[in-house]
Chain A
């Protein structure tokens, strides 16, 4: 019985620590001055927001009109993507409510539904909806693109390429080439993909197409270690989409990869609402030894705790990165990275997995990633040092 008693004493201590969830123990207050600003809303005054308000009112008057719903939902998704804000995906879902549980609504609605499922990392349902959409309308270019990109994220490169092919007939050559180059660049053809895409960009004026192509070019350049090219592509992309948060994250990653941490701080200081950018800001502050690092780390810890409370698994890559570099908990990071690897297999997912396995001194854990790198022939100069160190262990 003595061991139980010992265990009991240990548990009692642990329970005391575990029973103080900080999320509920804030101190509410009553402000004293009416002009005190409590919250700044994102861009209510800009044209996109005005457009959204107008369309939302129009749709409220005709809630069962699919055309109005599709237009509004698409705009919400676009906004959610540009600002990396999941609320907009929720608004889009609510807009599609009359069709949300239907087995086979119209193709346009199926595609939007798939994009929302994808944003929740519900890849299987997204792929199923896209299959239905393509069955109903095999000429739906958006459905082909979305399916190709989900398959790419999952590492199903052969299938992804197959889905890029129809774009040659159904859309502009640049979309088809960007799609193909993006997939093939993960699959042993980084430099060829880059050259091909760069050539096809020259004769395209479509700005959305160019933005996508530039993002892919920048991404390939980073992976092949061509920093100067990457920066040039990113800067050109920013001219097309100055406020794009995804680009901002990519640029911050690029700068930190080049050891230019100090430049990241002014870039992201006002983007702390976005977890992924807050994480990068904290990493940059850690690298230069900034005094207010602790506050950023604490804010991140609260965000991850909140997403765990709602059993949200979409942030495992970011949480693993935070656990490894900011909290110095390699074992925790490894578990998160391993779980993340099951659902997505992008180079960043491989990197955090390898780095965690290395820090946890558990080279065997990294075996699936090393195997993956061999099979796919993924080229990424950022992964090589980790892979070499692990092999040397």
Chain B
């Protein structure tokens, strides 16, 4: 037992035991009709471990030593990669061999083409290189077709990747983010409370210090339209700026201001300050709410190379959720605008309640406390 400790005591010491880059291969697949062009970069160090390259055992791999093993490399690697178009396997051609330097050393590069029986709709790629020798090895796949790029990672747990080349694939991503956007606005009570606080007086007008119901639908609709549009334009601007890494604000500050904006919007219904110019409030604080949306989007993880689709999907989702809320609110508020409930309960006590909630959030966020859990 002592001997064991002597060998092992230091292992426990180091947690950041990883200095070298781990083992990766790079598989680049270009699809043109039924022809597939493949470039596969494999680290010389991995091949040395797998089949041996350093013939004279001097610790150096020369081009001569590598060239002498080209046939063995192809025979070792190619059966560990399988490309299928739908049900039919694609036939791989004879590879040409090159050398390339990556950031962590020299790689051998295999270039070959694969011919499928028909232009593939879906491409299944099965990868099994080095997994038996080093389960932490990864195959980094990049597929290009029609100016589109998709990346994926092969691991022992996921040795097969399916590439859908139908338009559906890009729509799926778009729809995923659209759904996330809708869910976020519907679950994010702070955005809803802010917007509804601003919209509450839209079906009323202030006359000699007293609220009165508007006589027709048109002014109410115009008021709502102005506020919603201002809020939308503003948060779209900042959402885009933040998502594209152009502007950053500290998240706690953003969240605190969002909470404060709810207090302000709600208190305005008790002591009207901005009547008629509530769309300006919506625009100004909409800028801040946009940063809040951006934080959510960042948490979802933006797919590189498909940033555009994800961002528009998410933004449209937010707008759809918002339209749904306004679509429910406006007819209801218009119908109830002359009622005692709307004028005596919803407007002032309701707004006070909302302001209180906003204030609690503001305290929690500003001072990082949890007042109510």
Interface residues of A (CB under 8 A from B): 3-4, 6-8, 10-12, 14-15, 18-19, 21, 23-24, 26-31, 33-41, 43-45, 74, 77-78, 80-81, 83-87, 89-91, 93-94, 97, 100, 108, 111, 115, 118-121, 139-142, 145-146, 148-150, 153, 170-172, 175, 206, 208-209, 211-212, 215, 245-246, 249, 273-277, 299, 302-303, 306-307, 309-312, 314-315, 317-318, 331, 344, 346, 360-362, 364-365, 367
* Binary flags per residue of B158-182, CB closer than 8 Å to A gives 1, else 0: 0000000000000000000000000
**Chain A residues within 8 Å of B248, by CB:** 331
A142 to B13 Cα, complex, angstroms:
12
A315 to B111 Cα, complex, angstroms:
32
A142 to chain B, nearest CB (A): 5
A41-B48, A141-B5 known; A29+B100 contact, CB < 8 A: yes
A310-B24, A317-B16 known; A171+B2 contact, CB < 8 A: yes
B2 and A36: CB pair below 8 A? no
B237 and A18: CB pair below 8 A? no
Closest B residue, CB atoms, query A28:
B98
**Chain A residues within 8 Å of B351, by CB:** none
**Chain A residues within 8 Å of B1, by CB:** 139-141, 170-171
B19 and A211: CB pair below 8 A? no
Q: Out of A121, A309, A311, which one reaches B15, CB within 8 Å?
A: A121
A39 and B137: CB pair below 8 A? no
B136 and A10: CB pair below 8 A? no
Asked whether B17 is an interface residue with its Cβ less than 8 Å from the other chain, the reply is yes
Closest A residue, CB atoms, query B151:
A309
Asked whether B320 is an interface residue with its Cβ less than 8 Å from the other chain, the reply is no
Q: Out of A29, A33, A108, A149, which one reaches B12, CB within 8 Å?
A: A149
A84-B19, A312-B22 known; A37+B98 contact, CB < 8 A: no
A142-B4, A212-B9 known; A35+B62 contact, CB < 8 A: yes
A303 to B359 Cα, complex, angstroms:
46
A346-B15, A360-B250 known; A39+B134 contact, CB < 8 A: no
A111 to B236 Cα, complex, angstroms:
52
**Chain B residues within 8 Å of A35, by CB:** 62-64
B308 and A12: CB pair below 8 A? yes
Asked whether B208 is an interface residue with its Cβ less than 8 Å from the other chain, the reply is no
A153 to B312 Cα, complex, angstroms:
42
Asked whether B142 is an interface residue with its Cβ less than 8 Å from the other chain, the reply is yes
A93 and B5: CB pair below 8 A? no
**How many Cβ-Cβ contacts under 8 Å join chain A to chain B?**
287
- Please, how many residues of chain B have a CB less than 8 angstroms from a CB on the other chain? 85
A273 to B20 Cα, complex, angstroms:
6
**Chain A residues within 8 Å of B109, by CB:** 28
Interface residues of B in 83-138 (CB under 8 A from A): 97-106, 109, 111, 132-138
B368 and A31: CB pair below 8 A? no
B327 to chain A, nearest CB (A): 19
Q: Out of B8, B61, B104, which one reaches A37, CB within 8 Å?
A: B61
Q: Out of A10, A28, A34, A74, which one reaches B240, CB within 8 Å?
A: A10
Closest A residue, CB atoms, query B251:
A365
A36 and B62: CB pair below 8 A? yes
A7 and B315: CB pair below 8 A? yes
Closest B residue, CB atoms, query A38:
B106
Q: Out of B9, B28, B305, which one reaches A175, CB within 8 Å?
A: B9
A85 to B132 Cα, complex, angstroms:
18
Interface residues of B in 19-46 (CB under 8 A from A): 19-24, 26, 28, 39, 41, 44-46
Asked whether B57 is an interface residue with its Cβ less than 8 Å from the other chain, the reply is yes
A89-B17, A115-B12 known; A21+B142 contact, CB < 8 A: yes
A307 to B20 Cα, complex, angstroms:
11
> What are 18 A-B residue pairs whose CB atoms fall within 8 Å in the complex?
A7-B312, A8-B308, A23-B140, A28-B100, A36-B62, A40-B61, A81-B14, A87-B46, A87-B134, A97-B135, A108-B4, A141-B5, A142-B4, A171-B2, A274-B19, A303-B21, A360-B250, A362-B250
A43 and B59: CB pair below 8 A? yes
A4-B312, A11-B240, A34-B64 known; A41+B134 contact, CB < 8 A: no
Asked whether B54 is an interface residue with its Cβ less than 8 Å from the other chain, the reply is yes
Q: Out of B11, B26, B46, B99, which one reaches A38, CB within 8 Å?
A: B99
A7 and B15: CB pair below 8 A? no
**Chain B residues within 8 Å of A93, by CB:** 134-136
Closest A residue, CB atoms, query B60:
A37
A sample of 10 more A-B contacts (CB under 8 A), given A24-B26, A86-B23, A303-B104, is: A8-B308, A38-B99, A40-B60, A89-B17, A212-B13, A275-B18, A276-B16, A307-B22, A318-B16, A365-B252
A119 to B17 Cα, complex, angstroms:
6
B177 to chain A, nearest CB (A): 13
B3 to chain A, nearest CB (A): 10
